[in-house]
Structures are given as structure tokens and as C-alpha cells.
A and B are shown apart, each in its own frame.
Chain A
Amino acid sequence: MAASLVRTCVLTTRRTLQFLRPISFALQESHDSKRSYHRRQKGFLREMYKKRIDIGPDKPRRRSEWINWNYDCEIFSFGQRLGENFDEGSLRQAFVHRSYVEQEKEKRAELGIDLESVPLELDDNSDLANSGDKLMKDYLKVYLRNIYPYMFEECISSVCDHLMMDETLSHIASHLGCEDLILCQDFPVQPSVLSVTFKAVVGALEQAQGKERAEAFVRDFVLPQLIGKDLNEMWPLHNPMGLLVALLSLTGRGQPEPRLLWKSGSNTMMSLYWVGIYSNKQLISKAPGETVLIAEEMAAREAVKKVMRTEDNRPPLVLGTVAERLELDRDRVNASAEDIVRRHYEQSSGQSDSITSS
């Protein structure tokens, strides 16, 4: 009994002491693993804890402010890590953001240094980023058109836009170790700056090793971001039934007929309807929804998905070593949904005209 009482006392005091431990101490890694603090330290630690709460957390600092930092080594290793031979000059330029150059100019102006007599030999990465941006967009579209030959051009553009978003590119750039190397004014580094830098790195690679190698880089690091994502959701399709009607009439099949397949709990909050779309008495697609209208729209979306061959059980993307042997048709252009709808309306209006004239 007594022993257990003592044990609980010791445990509770240890816990409270852990709580009282100052954050500044907790941030530093302690090398001697201490199990307890002496009673005399209690007041000191409590004071430190209060002070830390008053001051607040430390400001985030750049990695380059620490002593173990060598920019030359870091730049060299960046290329080696990714398995690419960059041209050192252009790679260095790729990490210089425009804001940094402006900041340096301002600093010089403040110090009273004349920029004309002592020029600032520092180019920013906007040119490289522009060329990288163009290469990435072109290649992503060519790749997607060849991998998904039945996908509409609008959908391909939206998938490409999703990949070229600042959010996606900054995620890739920060996970390739660009964040520490970037020279820019703001800290923490903004996603837009990170994405510009990633584009500039692609541009620098294109300069150093040619287009093919830069495209392989894009394929290996940007395209895997599509894994596990729904391509169809990236395309904001507002009237799927209209597109489906146009598609079916142009291919000479019957008009789509939505039919209620199953329903459950129709008068409850958890109502469920399954609507199937038939054409020529053949079931094209079916989908669930909370109301009949939602289910019908979802079924139409499902049908468009089937037309584009981007169902959930589609084969995976061709990536990695297999993708090196891919023969891409660069001039390929897929069918455009807008074009299909326009053709359908032209046809139908032509027919109605002939009916009225006759």
C-alpha cells in the first residue's frame, strides 16, 4: 500500500515537472537523458516556462542562418540527388527570385553604391521559369493526349492546369529540397515562389541537357501527382446530360433515357436513388444520389466518364522505366466537347429548318 502510494506521488510530480519544463529547453535536444529535476530547480524552471510563454515561440529562420551550411555543396548535391547533370550557373540562377534581386538593389542604393559603376551581376529566374513553364505545359498535354486518347480536350486542359497549380508545384518543389536553396525576400517561402523556382529548375535542365531529359524530369516528378486522384473531378462539367445527348446523337445512337433502378428510404433524410441511363434499351451507366435529379446528373457524368475511358478501373499511368519507351504522337489533338455540342446543335437546327420549310 505504502509502496504504491509513494510510486503514484513520484509519478505525478514527475509529470508536473515535465509540464513545467521550459519550452526553450525542450526545443534544444538534451544530450543527457535526465529522469528527474532537483527540487531546487523547480522555481527556476517555472520562471523560464513563464518567460517563454510571454515571449512566444521562436521566429522561423532560414536554414542558411545556421553554421552547418555551404551553398556550393548544397547546389551540387541538389543536382546529384535528382540524378541530373545541371549546368551550375543556370541552376544557381534558377534559385534566384526576382524579389531577391530587387532587395539587393535596394540594399546597394541604401549603402550609396552606384549600380552603373558596380553592376549587380545577378539574373533572376523569370526567363528560365517561362521556358520551363512552356515545356511543362506542352509535354503534360502531349502525354495526357496519348495516354487518354478518348479524353476531351477540355478535360486534358483542366488536368494540366491542376498539375501546374502553385499548390501542386510547390508541394513537389519543397519535397525536392528547393525550399532551403531559394534566394528570395519573404520567409517562410511562399508557394508561388516555390512553383516559379520549380519551373525555373525545369528550364535550367532544358538548357543544360536538352528537351528530352527535361521532359523525363517532368514525367518522373510531376505526373506521379495524378496517382490516386480523380481526373474527372478536375474538369468542371456543368451540363453532362447535354454533352451526352450530343455524343449519342452524333454517333447515331438513341437518345438517353433515365430510369429509376432502385430506391431506398425515400421519405427519410438518408434517401437514396439509383438512376440508370439507357440508350436503345441498353444500360449505359448508373449512379446513386440523394434525389432523383442528382442521381440522374451523376449517371450522366458516369456515362461521360465511360466515353472518355477514365473509369475507376482504368489501367494505371505509364511511368518510370517503361515510360522511356513511350512513342508519343506530338501533333495529336483529341476531340473537343464544345465542338461536339456545337456540331450537334447545328445538325438539329438544320433538321428543324428542313422540317419547317417542307
Chain B
Amino acid sequence: MSNNAIPRDFVKNVLQNGVGRYVCQLKRITFRFCKSHGGSRHMRDFIENNLLEFTQKNPGVVCYLQPRRHRPPSVVAEFLNGRREVMLLSGKEVPEICKWVEHMRTRSGVQIVNMIQNNHTETPSTQGIWHPFMFRDSEMAATEFPSKKFSQIQVTGKTATDLVLEEQLKVSSSESSDSHIEGK
């Protein structure tokens, strides 16, 4: 598949969730299963043993049970941003069903796609973006070019030559002091 056919997106937050207070984004979850077929055995076990605990812990999520004759088990999650996701759970055992339900509960509801970046900020630069005039002296606007002042090499700090010369001075001065001691 070509690269531009794969959906890619930036990290998104729904309604600035968590800035004010956190709201669980899963609003509704429907468990669909068959009451008699063997394929829904684990889903029935889950409903019998684990569902009550889930509903007690998450009163903000509405749970529905939807029995359908001789149809494979699945779970439908509806999120606050209006998206609806169906997950097929045939052949999944109870711990795995628990994990998928937990996965739906902790999601933001945004479609899972390849991330362009793993981080996001609303203020990419507090200083303002760079532009070619950012560090330019405004005096240049009124100067005739070529000018002597702006043609000089900008020197910031010590150059390598300066450092070598300094080292040489240090060595020569220490040598002279040594010879002085020896002479004593």
C-alpha cells in the first residue's frame, strides 16, 4: 500500500479533556451475544462475573446487553465525540474481554492512526517564530552599502588562535619562573 493511503495524524485531545476536569470519553457500551450458542460462552461468563463490577466502578458509562440468536459475540463502544466502534470478541476468553473493555474505557474515542508526532503543544514557540530580521540591527535600514562597519567579521568570544596564543604565553611565563627558581 502506498504511503499516503495510510491515515496519519497528530495527537488530539477531545474538548481539552483533563485541563479542567477529566471526563471518561466512553459514554455507552453494548455487549452483544447469544444466550445459547457456544461461541458466546466467554461473553456470558464475563456478563455473569465481571460486568457488575465494571458498572459499579463506572457509573458514567451506560451498559446495554443485547442478546441476538446465534450471532457471534461483540462489543459496541460509543464515545462522546460521536464515534462508534465495534469489536468482535469471538474466541476471546474472559480476561481478554476484560482487557478490551478496559481499553475502550480508557480511550479518547479518536480513531487510532499512525502518529506523525508523539507529542503536541498549543504553543509551539513562546518567543515567536524566527524571521530573517530577528537579530538584525535596525541601523542597517538607514545605511548605505557597502559599509565598513557591517563588512567587518563579527567576533564573539575568543577564537582558536587567541586560545593558542594564551596557552603559549602561559607556558613561556611558567618556563621563565622555573628558570628563575633554578637560578636561585
Contact = CB atoms under 8 A, between A and B. Distances in A.
Number of chain A interface residues as a range: 35 or more
B146 to A, nearest CB: 18
B122 A227 contact: yes
A320 B21 contact: yes
Interface in B122-140: 122-123, 126-128, 131-133, 136, 138, 140
Nearest to A179: B82
B71 interface: yes
A288 B134 CA distance: 11
Contact of B81 (A76, A172, A175): A175
B62 A73 contact: yes
B89 to A, nearest CB: 11
A95 interface: no
Contacts of B123: 228, 312
Given A175-B81, A260-B141, A77 B60 contact: yes
Nearest to B59: A80
Interface residues of B, number: 38
Interface of B: 14-16, 19-21, 23-24, 27-28, 30, 59-62, 64, 66, 71-72, 74, 80-82, 86, 88, 90, 122-123, 126-128, 131-133, 136, 138, 140-141
A177 B133 contact: no
B19 A31 contact: no
A28 B61 CA distance: 24
Contacts of B126: 312-313
B122 A228 contact: yes
Contact of B20 (A80, A221, A262, A263): A221
Contacts of B16: 224-225, 227
A228 B16 CA distance: 10
B20 A320 contact: yes
Contacts, number: 93
Contacts of B64: 68-70
Q: Tell me the interface secondary structure of chain B in the complex.
A: loop
A82 B74 CA distance: 28
Nearest to A229: B122
A70 B62 contact: yes
A220 B20 CA distance: 4
A31 B27 contact: no
A6 interface: no
Contact of B138 (A83, A221, A227, A262): A262
Contacts of B136: 262
B171 to A, nearest CB: 48
Which residue among B28, B72, B86 has the maximum number of chain A CB atoms within 10 Å of its CB? Answer: B28
A76 B59 contact: yes
Interface string A319-338: 11000000000000000000
Contact of B141 (A220, A228, A262, A312): A262
A34 to B, nearest CB: 13
14 contacts: A70-B64, A77-B27, A77-B62, A81-B59, A176-B80, A219-B20, A220-B20, A224-B16, A224-B20, A227-B122, A228-B122, A312-B123, A313-B126, A320-B19
